[in-house]
């Protein structure tokens, strides 16, 4: 019974953050809602495994990230016959925006949102995991089943594409 109460409190506290992470990863409002619910269902079923010496956010974000990456892999194998829904990532509303502040200061927040949303999944996913989920290169590598060095390459290319899309000098470092 106490577990249910604790989990309900955590659900209310972290729902918005988990939803934001799922929406950025999936680039779809409806899929993000489903993914958020599935994340919390999985977390509830595995709650006995949660180690209370680590922050709850890291644990639930790992569950959400893995689930969303699995969905993206499935989506990439499924033929798409029409475009996905247009999305705005609400970059400005994120509590973890600090790393991309330079881009936001130099550009309209809507343009930054659109630029991130326009990135191919292989670049957008590690970017979101690194800057919004604050995952380390090792965590991203594990989540995406790629090498740590490849994570660095994907992030570099993502930042270069953002600079190009936003009309900034592609030679600098973000």
Residue that has been written with the tokens 């809602």 in this structure: 33
Calpha distance 162→170 (Å, rounded): 9
The answer to whether 98 touches 108, Cβ cutoff 8 Å, is: no
The structural domains of the chain, ordered by start, are: 1-87 (1.10.1740.10), 91-174 (1.10.10.10)
Better-predicted residue by pLDDT, 102 or 42: 42
- Examine the pLDDT at 91 and tell me if it is beyond 50: no
Number of alpha carbons in the 13 Å side-chain half-sphere of residue 152: 5
Instruction: Tell me the C-alpha to C-alpha distance, in Å, between residue 77 and each of 68, 71, 149.
Output: 14, 10, 25
Relative orientation angle of helices 121-131 and 109-118, to the nearest 10 degrees = 130
93-131 tens-digit pLDDT = 333 334 455 555 555 667 777 888 889 989 999 998 888
DSSP assignment of 141-161 equals HHHHTS-HHHHHHHHHHHHHH
Give this prediction's pTM.
0.69
147 phi/psi in degrees, rounded to 5 = -75, 160
Residue 168 token pair? 């900034």
Residue 151 token pair? 């994570």
Calpha distance 5→121 (Å, rounded): 37
């Amino acid at each position: 019974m106490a577990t249910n109460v604790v989990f309900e409190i955590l659900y209310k506290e972290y729902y918005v953050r988990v939803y934001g992470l799922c929406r950025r990863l999936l680039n779809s409002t409806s899929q993000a809602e489903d993914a958020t619910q599935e994340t919390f269902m999985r977390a509830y079923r595995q709650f006995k495994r949660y180690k209370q010496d680590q922050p709850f956010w890291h644990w639930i974000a790992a569950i959400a990230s893995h689930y969303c990456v699995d969905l993206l892999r499935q989506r990439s194998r499924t033929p798409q016959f029409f475009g996905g829904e247009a999305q705005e990532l609400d970059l400005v509303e994120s509590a973890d925006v600090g790393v991309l502040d330079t881009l936001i200061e130099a550009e309209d927040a809507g343009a930054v949102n659109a630029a991130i949303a326009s990135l191919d999944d292989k670049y957008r996913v590690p970017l979101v995991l690194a800057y919004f989920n604050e995952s380390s290169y090792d965590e991203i590598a594990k989540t995406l089943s790629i090498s740590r060095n490849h994570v660095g390459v994907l992030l570099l290319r993502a930042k270069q594409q953002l600079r190009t899309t936003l009309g900034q000098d592609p030679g600098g470092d973000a």
